[in-house]
Amino acid sequence: MSKDAPRAGILVTGTEVLTGRVRDRNGPWLADRLLEAGVDLAQIAIVGDRPRDLEATLRAMAGAGLDLVITSGGLGPTADDLTAEVVGRFQGREPVLDEALEARIAEIVRPLAERYPDIDRNAMAAGTRKQAMVPEGATVLEPVGTAPGLVVTPAEGAGPTVVVLPGPPRELQPMWRQATETDAWRAAVGGARDYRQAMLRLFGIPESDIAETLRHAEREGVELAQLEITTCMRGGEIEIVTRYEPHADSAYEAFAEIVAARHSSTLYSTDGTTVDEQVAALLRGDGGGPKRTIAVAESCTGGLLAARLTNPPGASEYMLGGVVAYANELKTGQVGVPLETIEAHGAVSEEVAKALAHGARLRLGADVGVGLTGIAGPGGGSEEKPVGLVWLSVQGPDGNELTRSVTLPGGRTDVRERAVMVAMHLIRRLLSGEQATRPT
């Protein structure tokens, strides 16, 4: 990989993000945009609404030789929104009132005052003025909400250009284009590279197998030094993300061929598509295949599988519905599981999983039925049927069926989420006519 591409850092602000009350959506989104722009992302940091921590992180990023820092958050009208002030001080630029900007923000918030006649108009005016205080010489990005963005260069000497963006993604994302069209941005990212990124997805394989595949590729002469390869275990899947420049196309192709040859039974996506996307495409009949409908009956996952199947756009075309049945009476009454089957084999069993799949398909009139039963914990397990044991069955219109049991580690949330992932892959395998050659 080139060492002279411009390098950037992302600095997410907000105590609510730092403490986990709000999930950070801006960091990953900005990371993708930097990749598209050919800028090398060096680090992401999250700090609370404390000026000292914000400034210390800016200095650390500058000390690392970064060319660009992008901040998100801290641009509101309240006293704890101090990003613009801190960035201005860091760049050696005094705050000045942009009167034209103040008038534009006042016009944006005017309907709010009309809607709430009892609102404190003096406080609103003070907040508007605060948001219109910008570092002298900064490039102002027009507000999408009420907060303007900024592109701030150092007043003197060398240092990173800082792009200051609001926290709400609905405001940050449209403002990003404005930032990339400024002269200050273009100067900061001069020499940007053309990066490519590819993703391979595998399921049912330990991460150690991929480590050995990397060593094998190196022994086979693949120039891995030209590739930036990252592996990530997520929900039982392994994602292999590779970033490279166009001159390394042949190196990536050789690497991808080795992964495909060594892991043909577990490599399910060579273009980065997720199992959710592939299942949706198979059910819709994309590519000329038959269109099919699906219904589910689940117990230990509490409706999570049905929710996941209804998430893709257009899911109402194929997802007929689901039944969540914990009580044996519901399994029998709503899904048609024979009571004698439950009594003979137990609610968590291969036989009941099959009966749930059959009942979901029959009772809801679907082409494909899915049954899922298990023990998510924290109690209720036994030596024969421990916590984490899950039975899953998928049945299709032609009598084809895939039924598996898995014993999943972790607490209740882990077991439920992993069980849903296993179910999605069983659905994919049945719909695509693929039979598992390794345990799921």
For residue 387, give every residue at least 6 positions away whose Cβ sits within 8 Å of its Cβ, in sequence order, or none. Answer: 375, 376, 377, 378, 379, 380, 381, 415
In this structure, the answer to whether residues 145 and 222 fall within a common structural domain is no
Look up the domain containing 401 and give its range. 275-432
* Residue 437 is assigned to a structural domain of this protein: no
Virtual CA dihedral for 250, 251, 253, 255, nearest 10 degrees?
Answer: 160
Determine, yes or no, domain membership for 54: yes
- Residues of the chain above pLDDT 90, percent: 81
Q: What is the CA radius of gyration of the chain?
A: 27
301-329 confidence digits (pLDDT tens): 999 999 999 998 889 999 999 999 999 99
The whole-model pTM stands at: 0.77
Query: Do 235 and 176 lie in a common domain?
Result: no
DSSP for 43-54, please give it.
Answer: EEEEE-S-HHHH
Q: What is the mean pLDDT of the chain?
A: 92
In this prediction, residue 119 carries a pLDDT of 81
Output the pLDDT for position 399: 85
Q: Residue 396: inside a domain, yes or no?
A: yes
Give the mean model confidence (pLDDT) for residues 77-95: 93
Instruction: Note whether 280 and 417 are same-domain residues.
Output: yes
- Give the count of domains, the chain: 3
**Band of pLDDT at residue 3, cut at 50, 70 and 90:** low
Structural domain includes residue 438: no
Structural domain contains residue 439 = no
92 and 151 fall within a common domain: yes
Domain co-membership, 250 together with 319 = no
- Please tell me whether residue 255 adopts helix, strand or coil conformation: helix
Q: Are residues 302 and 398 in the same domain?
A: yes
**Domain's final residue, options 188, 220, 235:** 188
262 shares its domain with 295: no
Same domain, 86 and 141: yes
pLDDT in tens, 379-437: 788 888 999 999 999 999 888 999 999 999 989 999 999 999 999 999 999 999 865 43
pLDDT reported for residue 440? 40
Residue 1: inside a domain: no
Identify the CATH number of the domain in which residue 414 sits: 3.90.950.20
pLDDT in tens, 341-355: 999 999 999 999 999
Residue 238 covered by a domain: yes
Residue 145's CATH number = 3.40.980.10
User: 157 with 264, same domain?
Assistant: no
| CA distances from residue 61 to 10, 55, 185 in whole angstroms, order as listed | 9, 10, 17
Rounded CA-CA distance 117/119 in Å is 6
Q: What is the CATH number of the domain that holds 234?
A: 3.30.70.2860
Which residues are bridge partners to 321 per DSSP? Answer: 295
d(CA 333, CA 339): 9
Supply φ then ψ for residue 76, to 5 degrees. Answer: -75, -175
End position of a domain, from candidates 168, 188, 208: 188
238 and 320 inside one domain: no
Q: Which residue, of 161, 188, 215, is where some domain finishes?
A: 188
Whether 120 is covered by a domain: the verdict is yes
- 399 in the same domain as 335: yes
Q: Do 107 and 176 fall within a single domain?
A: yes
Give me the amino acid identity at 339: L
Element (H or E) spanning 126, and its range? helix 121-131
| Residue 332 falls in which region: left (phi positive, over 0), alpha (psi -120 to 50) or beta | alpha
pLDDT in tens, 116-163: 777 888 888 999 999 999 999 999 999 998 899 999 999 998 899 999
